[in-house]
Structures are given as structure tokens and as C-alpha cells.
Structure 1
Amino acid sequence: MALYAERINAHRFALVAPLIAPDAVFWFSDGSHKGIDAIERAFAATWATLHDEAYWLEDRRWLTRDGASAVCLYRFCWTASIDGTARSGGGRGTSVLERRSDGWVIVHEHLSATPAQACLTAGPAVGAVCNSSPQS
């Protein structure tokens, strides 16, 4: 998951794509994205909105890990400039990974705002845009 967050910060989907299954399903605040092409479009739309973005994961908790699959819960956080205004935000995430012939890949990701946040929807991969950092 750390490598995934690191590669997201490059804003180059070609670096992120090998970590995502071609048939993955991602659920973001703007809807569901099925398949690598739809997921790439969702990331591109977000990256077009967020300038100078930094993205990271906190409080990772593995619910299950075995030789075939793994499920990770986490808080995602970001800072960026949107329309020239510094913003930060985040939410909670769940990623389901599966071991396939070419290694571990994300088969499902679900990002959402934390219940206490009152935020504006910004783009598919961010979950929410807030004026302050997310609270635990």
C-alpha cells in the first residue's frame, strides 16, 4: 500500500496501473469505476483538479492477509492547490488485494469521506475537499 501511495504522487497512471488488476472496481465519491480504463479516467480527472498534490496513507490496518488475498483499512490524506487555493482533506479507505500470477494487485478500492467531515466533492480519487486536515 505504501508503494501505491508513493506512485499516486507521481501523477502518472503508467506507474500506478501495474498495482491495479485490469478488472478492478473502484468506488469513489463520484461513483463506481470498473476496469482499468475507467479507473485511469477517474485518476486523470482528479489529477487535473489537484495541483501540487501530496497524498499519503495513515493508520493502515490489515484485516486479513494470507497467500491469496489481503484487505487493508486506512485513512487517506492529501494536500493540494485547487483553483489557486491551498486545500487539504482525506477520508477513509478500504483496499482488497489479490495475489495473481504477476504478483499482488488491487482488485477493489473504496474511498469515502469520514462521517464527521462536511466537505465539497472535488474529484473521483480524493473523496472530499476540506479546508482542514482530517481528524482521527
Structure 2
Amino acid sequence: MDPTSFVRGYEQATNARDLARLAPLIAPDATYWFTDGSHHGITAIKAAIERTFAAIQDEVYEIHDLEWIAVTDDLAVCRYRFRWSGRVDGKPAAGRGRGTNVLVKRDGSWQMQHEHLSR
């Protein structure tokens, strides 16, 4: 699988709100930087994602303008813009921002090593 296909699969798993499908795509020692703080390790990252899933109902998350900064056989770095929409506290809500991802290939499969989302 190429890095773009991996990111699209990650986006689909996020939209499916299926943590069991999403978690294997995240490296066990990954670090995520979200607007609500930094999360290191799969346990902390899963908890942060679960909080987001609980806070935003019917969320649709979209990645746009995906640009690869560096790609090797076992490392890939990209930046992109994202948008989300859904309901927060029963009311329509939406946002957008920028993202940077670092992917690593381990045992022949890509995993998210770092994700940084900001407004």
C-alpha cells in the first residue's frame, strides 16, 4: 500500500468511528498533538480519539490538499488541510485546520507515528 492509500484508509476509519479499525493504523509509541493537548502512546491517543467521537456526533472528517514532503521506503511525511462537520451538543458544528503526519513502515505496513492538527 502506498502512503496516499494509507492516509485515505485512515480517513475512512476515522469517519467510520471504528476505534478497533483505527487503532492498528497508529504506532504503539506514536505522539499526537491536538488542540486540546499532546497525547503519547496508543492508550492516550485512543482515549483522546474516544473523547472526540463522544463530543462530535455524526462527524464527517475530510482531508484536502494532501502534499507529500518526503517519502522513502519506510518513512513518509505529509501536510494537508482538513475539515470536519457534525453536531456538538445537538447543534450543527464545523471546523477546519491544518495537519501534518509522519508515517513509518513497520513489518511491511504503514502506521501513523505522529499527527499534528491545528487551526
TM-score range, shorter chain: over 0.9
1:48 counterpart = 2:54:
yes
Q: Identify the match of residue 101 of structure 2 among 76, 95, 101.
A: 95
1: CA distance, partners of 2:108 / 2:53: 27
1: CA distance, partners of 2:86 / 2:108: 33
Question: Paired residue for 2:4?
Answer: none
Q: Identify the match of residue 33 of structure 2 among 24, 27, 32.
A: 27
- Compute the TM-score of the two structures, normalised by the length of structure 2: 0.92
1: CA distance, partners of 2:35 / 2:94: 16
One-letter amino acid of the counterpart of residue 16, structure 1: L
1: CA distance, partners of 2:43 / 2:17: 16
- Compute the TM-score of the two structures, normalised by the length of structure 1: 0.81
Cα drift, residue 90 of structure 1: 1.4
Unaligned runs of 5+ residues in structure 1 are 114-136
RMSD of aligned Cα (Å)? 0.8
2: CA distance, partners of 1:12 / 1:38: 16
One-letter amino acid of the counterpart of residue 114, structure 2: H
Hey, which bits of structure 1, 4+ residues long, moved more than 4 A?
A: none
Identity over aligned pairs, percent: 47
Unaligned runs of 5+ residues in structure 2 are 1-6
Cα drift, residue 102 of structure 1: 4.5
Cα drift, residue 83 of structure 1: 1.1
More strand by share: 2
2: CA distance, partners of 1:107 / 1:43: 15
